[in-house]
Chain A
Amino acid sequence: MKVFASFFKKKFFFKKKNQKTFIRCFARNRAAVLGASILAVVLLTVILGPLLYPGSAFKLVGKPLLPPGGAFLLGTDTLGRDVAAEIVHGTRTSMLIGVSATALAVLIGALVGGFAGYYRGWTELVLMRITEFFQTIPAFVLAILVVAILQPSVGSEILAIGLVSWPGIARLVRSEFVSLGGREFVLACTGLGASDTRVIFRHLLPNCASSIIAVGSLLVASSILIESGLAFLGLGDPNVMSWGLLISAGRAVLRSAWWICTFPGIAILLTVLAINLAGDGLNEALNPRLRTA
C-alpha cells in the first residue's frame, strides 16, 4: 500500500532542516558519539568479517586451547578453532538477530499500540490488557519457551525475541497516539474525509517516529543480550556461530582457558554498551521534550 510505503520514506523521519540540528544535538553528547563509534566498528566487522576470516567459523585451524597472543590473536578453543574468527562471525549473527527481532517488535508494538491509542474504548481495553499479560511473564522465560517449542534456529530466535519485546513499544506508541489524537491537525484531517488508515500511517506514526527510533535502538541491545542468553542455554542455532554459543562452549573450561569465555563476553559488553549510549543520544537529540537547546 502506498501509505505504508511513504511512512518509511526518510523525509518523514527527518525534516531536512532538522537534520542539521539533530546532528548537532547528537554530537554534543560525548558518550553518544563514543557509542556510535564503537557501533561503527562493530558494523564494519560485520561487513568485512568474511574478508578477515574467510571460510567457516567452525573451521579447525590449530591445536586446541592455545592461549591468546601466539599465532592466534585471541587463542583457540577446545576444538582448536580460532576464537577471533568465531567472534567476528558471531558478530553477524548477533547483529542480525538484534536488528530483525527489534524490527519485529516495533512492527507488532506499533500496530497494537497504534490501534489501541487511536480507537480507544474497548479496542484499547482489550489490546492493552493483552500487552500487560505479556509484560507480566518474564521475557526471558517466555523466549526460552517459544524457542523450545519451535526448534532452535535463527528464525525461531528472532520470532521469540520479537514476541517478548513488543509490549514496551506498544505502550509508548499508545501514549503518543493518545496525546496526539487530541491535537487539532488530526481533527482537521478527519474533517477532510481522511480514512483511519490514512490518519494513523500518514499523520500519527510519522509524528511519533522519533520516539520509536530512540526506544527501538535500545531494544537492539536487549535483543542481543537475550540471544546470547538463549545460545548460552543451548537454545541457539547449533549451526550458526554466535557469541552466546561461544561462551556456552567455553564455560566448561573457564578456569583453565579463560579466554574462550572472556573475549566474546567483552564483545557483548561493548556492543550493548555502545548501543545504549548511542540510543540515549538518539533519544535526547530526537525527543523535543528532552532537548535542552
Chain B
Amino acid sequence: MSVVLDIQNLQIALPKGADRPYAVDNLSLQLRAGEVTCLIGESGSGKSLAARAILGLLPAPRVRASGGRMLFGDIDLRAASPETMRAIRGAGIAMIFQEPMTALNPLHTIGRQIDEVLRLHTRLSRAERRTRIIELLADVHLPDPARLLHAYPHQMSGGQRQRAMIAMALALSPKLLIADEPTTALDVTTQAQIIHLIRTLQRERGTAVLFITHDFGVVADIADTVAVLQRGTLVESGPRDAVLNHPQHPYTKALIAAVPRLIPPAARPEPATRVPTILESRKLRKTYGARALFGGRTTTALDGVDIALRTGETLGLVGESGSGKSTLARAVTRLLATDSGEILFNGHDLAPLTRRQLRPYRKRIQMVFQDPFASLDPRQTVLEVIAEGPIIHGTPRAQAHAEARTLLGLVGLDASAGDRYPHEFSGGQRQRIGIARALAMQPEVIVADEPVSALDVSVQAQVLALFADIKARLQLSMIFVTHDLRVALQVCDRIAVMRAGRVVELATAQQVFAAPQHPYTKDLLAAVPGAAWQQAMLERTDA
C-alpha cells in the first residue's frame, strides 16, 4: 500500500537541562494508507512530541524538530513554510486529542466548530456545509445529528465529544489521522466503541492512522503495525501479531508482561467460619446538588448503597466514571458528608459523628488517592508528609520521623528520599509515598481510590505488587476502587460492580469473571481492551 507519510531519522531536540538531549532520536516510521500504526511507549517516551512534530505543533523554539525528514507526498513537513503547514493541517493531516473537552471551544456549538473547518478549507455553500456536517455526525454514530448541531461541548458526554472531534477531524477526508491517546480519558465501554468507530471509518476511507497509546490492550484491538518507543528511541516495530506474540526487544517484553491479564483469578478458599464484617455501608445516599436560588439540578451519586467489607479481604469497586464508586470510597472514610444511611465500622455508626468525634476512627481507616501529583502537599518533604498523621495523633516528632524512614523502606523507596520534595519523584514513587502515609497510621482498613489509574502499565504492575505484599504482611482489609476490570480481577477477593449510584452485582472475583449475572457486568468484560488477544494467548499457553 502507498506510503502516506514517510518519517526518516526524525530528531526532536529538548532544551538544555532536560533529562535527555533529544526527546525523539533517529525515528524512522512509514505510515501507509489504510493502515493503523500504533506508537506505544510509557509517559515521557516522546510519543506525543513525535505526533506534534508531524503537524508542526511543537512548543518552539525550546522544543524543535532538529533533524531528519517527514515526507508527506513530496513535501518535507519539517522544512515546510507556515502557510503550507496551515493548508495541510486539517485538510491533509488531522489530529484528535486525549481530552476532547479542552480541544473543543466551550463557547461554540459543535455545528459551528465543524462548520469553521469546512469554511476555511472548502468553497461549499452554507446549505451544503450544513448537509455535510449532518452526514459527518451521522457517520460517527452520534444520535440525532440535526439536534446535536446546536449542542455545546458541555452538553455532551465524553464519548460523544470524542465522536464529534473525530467528525471534525474527518470533515475534509484527510489522508492521515493522528490520534493522541484518544481513548485514555474515556470509560472502558466507551473506549471500545470509539476504537471500533475509528477502525471502521479508517477501513471505509482508506485513511492512514497514527494511533498513540500506552495500552497494549488497545494496540491489540486496533493496530496493523506497532512501533515501540523507549525514551525517544524506536526499539521495535513490525506487524501487530509479530510484536504482540513474539516480542524481540526486552523492553517490549517487559511492557507486554506488565499488562494486567484478563484471566480467571486464582481460586481463593472460602473461609470455613463466617468472617466478621469490619466496614459496612447501609442504605447510603448522597446527592450532589446545585443548591441554586431557583431550584437547580441534582445528581444522585449514591442511591441506597449496601456494601460490606469483611476483615482481611480486598473488595473491589468497579464502574465507569459517574457510577459513584469514588463517592462511595470518600463517604465510607467520612471525607464526604452523606445525606442518609449508616456507615458501620466494627459496629459503630460513623455517619452522624462530628469531626472531633471522628478523630479516633480516622487513624483506623486510611485512604490512598488517585492522583499522585495532587495528593501530596508540594511544600512538605516526604518525611513530613508521612510523619504528619502520627504527629497529629500525638507521636513525638523524632519518633514519627524515624518510623517514617522505616516505612519508606517498606514501600520500596530509599531512606534518603525522605528529605526531598514530592515534585522530585515520578508518579509511581509518589504513589508509594501516598501508601506509606496511609500505613504510618497503622490502619485496619485501607481505601484505595483508583491508586494505579494515573500510572504507566509497568509502574502499575509494581504498585499493585506492593499493595498485595503489604496487605499480606500487615493483614489489612482493603477497598479497592478501579475502572479497570483487569486490575480488579487481579487484586480483589470480591467485586462490587457499580452503575449510576447502585451496586448492580456483588460477587467473588471468580464468579464475576466466569459467570457475570448483570448485563452491565457482561458489557464491562466484553469491553476490556485486548480481550480477544489475551484469550488467544491464554489458549496458546494452555495448549
Q: Which residues in window 458-472 of B have CB below 8 A to A?
A: none
Task: Flag B46-78 by CB within 8 Å of A: 1 or 0 each.
Answer: 000000000000000000000000000000000
Task: Give bound CA distance, A148 to B269, whole Å.
Answer: 84
Task: Give bound CA distance, A193 to B388, whole Å.
Answer: 10
Which chain A residues border B379 with CB–CB below 8 Å?
Answer: 12, 15, 203, 206-207
Give the contact stretch, choosing among B183-191, B341-349, B368-376. B368-376
Give the contact stretch, choosing among A102-110, A151-159, A184-192, A259-267. A184-192
| A176 vs chain B, min Cβ distance (A) | 13
Task: Flag A173-185 by CB within 8 Å of B: 1 or 0 each.
Answer: 0000000000111
A192, B374: Cβ atoms closer than 8 Å: no
Task: Give bound CA distance, A145 to B371, whole Å.
Answer: 51
Q: Which of A17, A193, A203 has the most CB of B within 10 A?
A: A193
A193, B335: Cβ atoms closer than 8 Å: no
Task: Flag B360-382 by CB within 8 Å of A: 1 or 0 each.
Answer: 00110011011100111111100
Which chain B residues border A189 with CB–CB below 8 Å?
Answer: 377, 388
Q: Is A47 an interface residue (CB 8 A)?
A: no
Number of residues from A at the complex interface, CB < 8 A: 20
Q: Is A291 an interface residue (CB 8 A)?
A: no
Q: Is B127 an interface residue (CB 8 A)?
A: no
Residue in contact with A192 in the complex, picked from B369, B376, B378, B392, CB distance below 8 Å:
B392
Which chain A residues border B333 with CB–CB below 8 Å?
Answer: 191
Q: Is B389 an interface residue (CB 8 A)?
A: yes
Q: Is B425 an interface residue (CB 8 A)?
A: no
Residue in contact with B367 in the complex, picked from A15, A191, A206, CB distance below 8 Å:
A191
Main secondary structure, interface of B, reads: loop
Residue in contact with B392 in the complex, picked from A187, A193, A203, A207, CB distance below 8 Å:
A193
| B394 vs chain A, min Cβ distance (A) | 10
A192, B388: Cβ atoms closer than 8 Å: yes
B369, A188: Cβ atoms closer than 8 Å: yes
Q: Is A194 an interface residue (CB 8 A)?
A: yes
Which chain A residues border B133 with CB–CB below 8 Å?
Answer: none
Whose C-beta in chain A lies nearest to the C-beta of B376?
A185
Q: Is A198 an interface residue (CB 8 A)?
A: yes
Whose C-beta in chain A lies nearest to the C-beta of B336?
A187
Which chain B residues border A187 with CB–CB below 8 Å?
Answer: 330, 335, 367, 369, 375
Task: Give bound CA distance, A196 to B369, whole Å.
Answer: 20
Which chain A residues border B376 with CB–CB below 8 Å?
Answer: 185, 188
A194 and B388 contact, Cβ closer than 8 Å, known pairs A185-B377, A187-B369, A188-B375:
yes
Q: Is B126 an interface residue (CB 8 A)?
A: no
B362, A191: Cβ atoms closer than 8 Å: yes
Which chain B residues border A191 with CB–CB below 8 Å?
Answer: 333, 335, 362, 366-367
| B298 vs chain A, min Cβ distance (A) | 17
Whose C-beta in chain A lies nearest to the C-beta of B375?
A184
A184, B362: Cβ atoms closer than 8 Å: no
B392, A198: Cβ atoms closer than 8 Å: yes
Which chain B residues border A196 with CB–CB below 8 Å?
Answer: 355
Q: Which of A187, A206, A207 has the most CB of B within 10 A?
A: A187
Task: Give bound CA distance, A191 to B421, whole Å.
Answer: 21
Q: Is B393 an interface residue (CB 8 A)?
A: yes
| A31 vs chain B, min Cβ distance (A) | 23
10 pairs, A vs B, C-beta closer than 8 Å: A183-B374, A185-B376, A187-B330, A189-B377, A191-B366, A191-B367, A192-B437, A193-B359, A194-B392, A207-B377
Q: Apart from A17-B421, A185-B377, list 10 A-B contacts with CB within 8 A.
A: A15-B379, A15-B421, A184-B369, A187-B369, A188-B434, A192-B389, A193-B363, A193-B393, A194-B392, A203-B379
Closest 10 CB pairs of A and B: A193-B362, A184-B375, A192-B389, A184-B369, A184-B374, A185-B377, A183-B374, A193-B359, A206-B379, A191-B367
